Chain A
């Protein structure tokens, strides 16, 4: 079965520091990959997605992620953290066994704390 692993349930950075949130997936077929962000008491908002075009994907709010097939990774980065980046972040991968029903498999989530 496919799976998504987010390393670190909590990540804390100082304002202005680099943000790195890690995501690894297991899939024998190159998947589509997504990062979502969830602010408190809200739904999930799409940050960016990889759909087999460029391996470096730029998203909203200055975030980007790089698809590395050899490492089965899709880590999310931002050069300089802002207080407003504090939220929960979810990595997701298409469920290739789902026969085109559009199901996604989500990681457990990483809470990003930004300290002043």
Chain B
């Protein structure tokens, strides 16, 4: 079974803090993805990575950056958290036939 883990299930941060969300997969997948999920807006792609140190912007990259130093780990960084970044963050790992496998999600609250 593919396993995708995220570092925190729930996180509370203050406005202006730097926030790190970590994602680890155990299936040696090339592709990894970060989404945010908000009510009524579905899943929106923030960034994705198709190889170590390679990244591409998704649909809503503003206010975020990513890091992929090792194949199994993909980090999402909020350089200066703002209240409009309160959301559910989902990491996914991409396997064969473009199937994505999701982690449990991190619910982030920015006060």
| A contact residues around B103 at 8 Å (CB) | 43
Q: What total of A-B pairs shows CB separation below 8 Å?
A: 57
Determine whether B73 belongs to the interface, using a CB cutoff of 8 Å to chain A.
Answer: no
Contact of B42 among A43, A46, A101, A107 (CB under 8 A): A107
* Partner among B31, B56, B94, B104 whose Cβ is within 8 Å of the Cβ of A43: B104
Given contacts A90-B43, A107-B42, A109-B42, contact A42 B104 (CB under 8 A): yes
Knowing A90-B42, A107-B42, the reply to whether A44 touches B50 (Cβ < 8 A) is: no
Q: Count residues on chain A whose CB falls below 8 Å from chain B CBs.
A: 23
Q: How large is the interface on B (under 10, 10 to 19, 20 to 34, 35 or more residues)?
A: 20 to 34
Q: Which B residues touch A49, using CB under 8 A?
A: 97, 99
Query: Are A46's CB and B56's CB within 8 A?
Result: no
